[in-house]
Amino acid sequence: MERPPGYVVAVLAVLLAGGTLARCPRHPSPEVLARVRALPVELDPRRMDARELRQLPGVGTRLARAIVHARDGHRDSQALVWEDVPGIGEARAAAIRAWLAERGLATDPLAGEVTSYPVVMNRDPRATWTALVALLAACGERAHETAAPEVHGAAPVEVDRPATAATSPTKSAASNEVRARKLAVEGGEIAALSAGDDSAPLVLLLHGMRYSAETWRELGTLAALAEGGFHALAIDWPGFGETRAFSADPRPAQLLAQVIAAAGAERALLVGPSMGGGFALELVKTSPERVAGLVAIAPAASESFQLSSGSMPPALILWGEKDEVLPVTRARELADHMPGARVEILPAASHACYLDAPGRFHELLVSFTREVFARGQ
């Protein structure tokens, strides 16, 4: 019987060592245990860690991390409310407030004095170091085996080679991963998140005043569009998210045209909620030829929209039935100035209706995007 390769032995050793150490954890000191037992169940969001925040209604791993980031990085004297956290939305914020009120807690306790509390770790760090050393040793031996010169008279060693683009089964999945980008435009650099094939039809996602490009990642919109076969690009407007403010306020239409060009496209389907929707309307007014289609989500300045020249691109107007920022009646008024525009009212949704009904929003968005680009082919 042949001796198994060294890397197989190393992997088995890692599993054995890890299992042994896991069964013999290092116990915390009696002093630490006494402090932990004295702690009540943590319900105050000012002291919850990301794992504990997941007990709040509608809060998963991503939103929990967003809450921690917003809370711990808040330096403004103005109180931080739930709607200030990217991805929360008004409906989810109302559910969290109700959950806190039921327990007799303040409904917006994201800012204020915070006291630390101990965290007990039951894992022995020796297991991690043992596994890491064994893994590095195995990788080194494996590299030595594959790089060894061919011995005269012996069968040639077949070395694994990376699959080509034509044969790789994971190429599509890899291109659908969200990746960070920087786009050079006049006045500075635009930070962006991108997903999908760069050569596919471009869908440009803007954001509202309280949000950023990260909102579209957390909501799953970038992934949904990439899986639909499109190049999804979400940008941070200058002064928001990861984009620094420019020395002068950019002209929305001019900046959006430059972003589309920097992304390697001649035109794009624009998705614009609230503030971003107002910017998108500017490009539609001045350069409709650069706009393949428009998804306007309760856009700002919608009451003053007038098409200046050219033909109106296909448009989908989305509004929340319970929008308290811009009345839902404006949806029909805007449609009157957009020949052929389709209006969808999302039931029980607020101003950021896409956050309150993400499933229906993605269904409408992907379907409309497919119609627009199929029509343009």
304 as an active site residue: the answer is no
- Choosing from 323, 350, 356, 362, the catalytic residue is 323
Q: Per residue in 182-211, pLDDT tens?
A: 999 998 999 999 999 999 999 999 999 889
DSSP one-letter string for 67-84: HHHHHHT---SSPP-GGG
Per the CB < 8 A criterion, the answer to whether 57 and 96 are in contact is yes
Q: Per residue in 350-370, pLDDT tens?
A: 999 999 999 999 999 999 999
Return the pLDDT at 377.
55
- Choosing from 194, 274, 287, 350, the catalytic residue is 274
Q: Is 260 helix (H, G, I), strand (E, B) or coil?
A: helix
In 10 A of CB 337, how many CB atoms? Answer: 16
Q: Are strands 291-297 and 315-320 parallel, antiparallel or unpaired?
A: parallel
- Choosing from 108, 194, 350, 351, the catalytic residue is 351
Return the pLDDT at 167.
33
Domain boundaries, the chain: 6-23+122-147, 30-102, 175-376
Per the CB < 8 A criterion, the answer to whether 243 and 235 are in contact is yes
351 as an active site residue: the answer is yes
Q: Per residue in 3-28, pLDDT tens?
A: 667 766 677 777 777 666 555 545 55
| Class of the CATH domain delimited by 30-102 | mainly alpha
Distance between CA atoms of residues 212 and 91, nearest Å = 19
The CATH-assigned architecture of domain 175-376 is 3-Layer(aba) Sandwich (3.40)
311 as an active site residue: the answer is no
Q: What is the pTM of this model?
A: 0.58
In 10 A of CB 133, how many CB atoms? Answer: 13
Per the CB < 8 A criterion, the answer to whether 267 and 260 are in contact is yes
Q: Per residue in 67-124, pLDDT tens?
A: 888 888 777 767 788 888 888 888 788 888 888 877 777 787 676 554 433 333 334 4
Distance between CA atoms of residues 114 and 47, nearest Å = 6
Q: What is the dihedral of CA 242, 247, 249, 253, to 10 degrees?
A: -70
